[in-house]
Amino acid sequence: MDVHDVKLTISAVAAAQYPTDGRPEIAFLGRSNVGKSSLINKLIKRKAMARTSSVPGKTQTLNFYDLDSRLFFVDVPGYGYAKVSKAARAKFATMIETYLTTRQPLHGAVLLVDSRHDPTADDISMYQYLKYYQIKTLVVATKIDKTPKSKRLHVVKQITKRMDLNQTDVVIPFSAVTGEGYDAIWSWLEQTAGV
């Protein structure tokens, strides 16, 4: 999809604030600092529409980005960041769960994992959760520019194994620096959202 116009429609903390027009939505999930906001910016070809930071815990609300009035990208707060208080973490968890389990326009989720490390217990739980709720899932291995080309296939295999991915779910290596993976991710998004 060629994106022309992007607007941040709402930064929501409660279900009552979600958009009501029923357009398809794709959620971007993953632990803090994994690169969710950077992936969104790359996909919409904007430098800093979704705010990014080297400090984990930047995104604290469900941010609904309207793409050409056809599709929403939903930037979700990251999980697994120890320095966020227990109370704040519980609040994020409830917010994310409410969204994932009740949201009718949700067509699929992009689950980001860091290609430099093994998937965390939280990554594995999140994948299982998405499967339990029958949400179509694309796993994106981020920051692949940090992995030598010769090791990339191994990284993909390792993630597939550790996360025990369904045969129908694929891993796409991605770099916000080089743009690698851009076309493959967009084609999954178009197919999944029907746009």
Residues near ligand GTP (CB under 6 A): 30, 32-38, 52-54, 56-59, 77-78, 142-143, 145-146, 175-177
d(CA 184, CA 186): 6
To ligand GTP, the closest distance from the beta carbon of 167 in angstroms equals: 27
By CB under 5 A, tell whether 32 contacts Mg ion: no
Query: CB under 5 to 8 A by kind: which of ligand GTP, Mg ion, none does 146 bind?
Result: ligand GTP
| Residue 27 contact partner, candidates ligand GTP, Mg ion, none, CB within 5 to 8 A by sort of partner | none
- Shortest distance in whole angstroms from residue 56 CB to ligand GTP: 5
Question: Minimal distance in Å, beta carbon 23 to Mg ion?
Answer: 22
Q: Say if CB 124 and CB 153 are below 8 A apart.
A: no
Residue 91 CA neighbour count, 13 Å, CB half: 11
Q: Is 42 in the site for Mg ion (CB under 5 A)?
A: no
Distance (Å, whole) CA 132 – CA 94: 17
**Alpha-carbon span 46 to 23, nearest angstrom:** 22
Site for Mg ion in 46-85 (CB under 5 A): 58-59
Partner whose footprint covers residue 33, from Mg ion, ligand GTP, none (CB < 5 to 8 Å by kind):
ligand GTP
State the binding partner of 142 from ligand GTP, Mg ion, none, CB within 5 to 8 A by kind.
Answer: ligand GTP
37 binds Mg ion per the rule CB under 5 A: yes
Toward ligand GTP, which CB reaches closer, 32 or 160? 32
Please report where in the chains the tokens 């692949």 appear, as a residue: 144
Q: What is the rounded distance in angstroms from the CA atom of residue 175 to the CA atom of residue 188?
A: 16
Alpha helices in the chain (DSSP H): 36-43, 86-102, 121-132, 152-162, 182-193
Could you please report the per-residue DSSP string of 71-101? Answer: EEEEE---B--TTS-HHHHHHHHHHHHHHHH
Specify the residue, 34 or 106, whose C-beta has the smaller distance to ligand GTP.
34
Binding residues vs Mg ion (CB under 5 A): 36-37, 58-59
